[in-house]
Structure 1
């Protein structure tokens, strides 16, 4: 279907069912075959990767702001580390990275010596071994008879606990955002028996621009505006097919400006021959080479400018991080805007990055919820992203699994509570 740009508030009311969960029928006699189907609301979880809450204040997001005006919004605290895969999995499992098993975009497991999980290695990224420590909501939903569909979400391509979503696409960053929205609408055009009730939709372009150009760049503003148009398309097309929907918009983390002048060279602090650097950037995940632990501890654990290091057992409790065997022996965390490397980086440090302290203001994530199931209005206090999982389960009619989130945090925004 050709996309329709969303502008008037009435379109939001029709699409979301804020005034009524029923589709309108023209006055006068209507043949039975022409009657408009009365559709039950669906739940759509939308991720805009790297979307900071303050992006809503730039005058670029009329559609997202209209959603927020019809429901609730908040700045959300990501889980640590404030990286893409750990936080997307935290949102759909309700478990922080230390418990959901996805402790980084790049990680290793002592049960698989010499093997590294990275986003670019499909063999590892699609292996259930890495994901089976938790159960995402689409697996729980499927086991309870709720049909699901994912238009991209980390882990959704994997047979986690032997199950995938009922409908899913293999991730391809080259698929334009407009096509992603169209795919979701096409799934919702199906007959009721084949129609998903819980869906995900993922946009990566704001994060991509933030990394390349920085959060304040014109190119990032362009990406923000384009994704907002796609949100408008989604709302308008839902209205066109008479589909009420609870739309929950989240981001996984924020974005901090970085610079070539704010780089910490870990190889100038420790002998590179004594470490295995599992991950670098906003934080460094480090394992000692055999026999070098005492020397490494003496070098890493002393004070450093713009960086603090801990043994994994001594990582501050507020991070809820360090118990999982996949967390290396040492964690060094840079101040926001600084980067840690073990050599001259192969890519420019200038631009933007994330992975910093999850309490840092620039790492805040976005939360917006609106629809027939959302009775609250206004701006909520900051909350943890694992609190979204109980809300999703309630909106979709799913019995949730154990969660690190607090079900009470968002219970008050549910309609008819």
Structure 2
């Protein structure tokens, strides 16, 4: 009997220890979350090629709910209304003419034998092209604020010798779910190694909009999928108790184009007369030595569906043309038209790069979170004005002498901020 009692007592003690261990195992994360005062994180989300009117298509309940809880406005891109220049304007507060990423394709006289293009990592990842401005993650890291970029043009480059502490090499094959999960995994970290400023980038709306056009049902479906992912992000943040000030933006809109609305600039400028640097809605041309007058006579004459200027004579509202990387002559297509410099099987059904004042080029701005006052009405504003607001939310002093004006978006901030 005594032996049986000892066995039962030992068994009961063991079961009690297991039960206590199990309880401790399940309650510890909850206790840790409750004990930790999580400071809000700032998340900058870009949906490439998202036009404001896409939000009226009835497929974006999560993004529309985010807007309803904060502020929504149309935003004017910087000229040219292209991806790399505008993403860099958003995070530097400078227009492309000042931050140096003047186009998706560039030539610099200091490197006459190379060309910056999105598809050439030897150039697009070279700090030489990016060091004319300091993006916000570099400023934050200098101030001791940890940052993480789940894709953003330039974030893979050691700009001024620095990168975000968490960054990934851009890969279109990384799914939207993987991108969301990466950000949520960062948020699950201990406070000491958790980024306080994060960027997140989605390319599919732009990709499908180019290929099939802004009004294609597939473009709407691509936006619906991104909206679903934004919903997953918001739900995931709520589960782990992480509050966030979210700025959801786009870099530009998208305009419809067609195969029969093409201007062949290569048939106007021969290879022994000028170098065609860029094509699309905006085309840049550099005259070869001794050929300036010939290029000027050809391009500066009146053209149907296209207007050309010397860069020194561009309309002032473009705020463009002083940077030496800007080609000597610039031609801008009329809405719906494209300037082409080679034979193509078909022209893209959607393009951007037009005058930022065109309605189809408008970008999206949504802000929501504990630091953002809801319901403020905003007129259309320039995208460089996002940078001072970002700096305020991240908790850093913005770089001086930027183009962005703090007073534009300061009314969005709650009084305590």
> TM-score, structure 2 length as denominator?
0.91
Match of 2:195 in 1: 196
CA separation in 2, counterparts of 1:31 and 1:359?
51
CA separation in 2, counterparts of 1:35 and 1:413?
29
The structure-2 alpha-carbon separation of the partners of 1:313 and 1:367, relative to structure 1 and needing over 3 Å to count, comes to same
Deviations 1:284-339 (A, max 9, x none): 11001111110110111011011000001001110010000000100000012100
Root-mean-square deviation (CA, aligned residues, Å) is 1.4
Contact 2:213 2:257 (8 Å CA) reproduced: yes
Structure 1 residue ranges without an equivalent (≥5): 1-29
Q: Which is greater in Rg?
A: 2
CA separation in 2, counterparts of 1:63 and 1:263?
38
Match of 1:359 in 2: 357
Deviations 1:160-211 (A, max 9, x none): 0000001001110001101100000000100001010000000000000000
Alignment of 1:37-186 (within 5 A): 37-186=36-185
Contact 1:49 1:207 (8 Å CA) reproduced: yes
Match of 1:286 in 2: 285
Structure 2 residue ranges without an equivalent (≥5): 1-28
Alignment of 1:342-353 (within 5 A): 342-344=341-343, 346-353=344-351
Give the 3-state SS of the residue equivalent to 2:110 in structure 1: coil
Match of 2:381 in 1: 383
Which structure features the higher share of helix residues? Answer: 2
Q: Does 1:368 align with 2:366?
A: yes
The structure-2 alpha-carbon separation of the partners of 1:226 and 1:34, relative to structure 1 and needing over 3 Å to count, comes to closer
CA separation in 1, counterparts of 2:87 and 2:140?
17
> TM-score, structure 1 length as denominator?
0.91
Give the 3-state SS of the residue equivalent to 1:113 in structure 2: strand
The structure-2 alpha-carbon separation of the partners of 1:199 and 1:31, relative to structure 1 and needing over 3 Å to count, comes to closer
CA separation in 1, counterparts of 2:52 and 2:33?
44
Q: Does 1:240 align with 2:239?
A: yes
Contact 1:309 1:330 (8 Å CA) reproduced: yes
1:270 is displaced (CA, Å) by 3.5
Deviations 1:54-76 (A, max 9, x none): 00000010001000000001110
1:267 is displaced (CA, Å) by 2.9
The structure-2 alpha-carbon separation of the partners of 1:413 and 1:111, relative to structure 1 and needing over 3 Å to count, comes to same
Match of 2:13 in 1: none
The structure-2 alpha-carbon separation of the partners of 1:290 and 1:184, relative to structure 1 and needing over 3 Å to count, comes to same
Counting matched residue pairs gives 387
Contact 2:137 2:163 (8 Å CA) reproduced: yes
Contact 2:376 2:411 (8 Å CA) reproduced: no
Contact 2:376 2:412 (8 Å CA) reproduced: no
Match of 2:226 in 1: 227
CA separation in 2, counterparts of 1:341 and 1:153?
28
Deviations 1:91-115 (A, max 9, x none): 0000000000000000010111111
Match of 1:309 in 2: 308
The structure-2 alpha-carbon separation of the partners of 1:35 and 1:267, relative to structure 1 and needing over 3 Å to count, comes to closer
Deviations 1:380-401 (A, max 9, x none): 2100000000000001101100
1:273 is displaced (CA, Å) by 2.8
1:237 is displaced (CA, Å) by 0.3
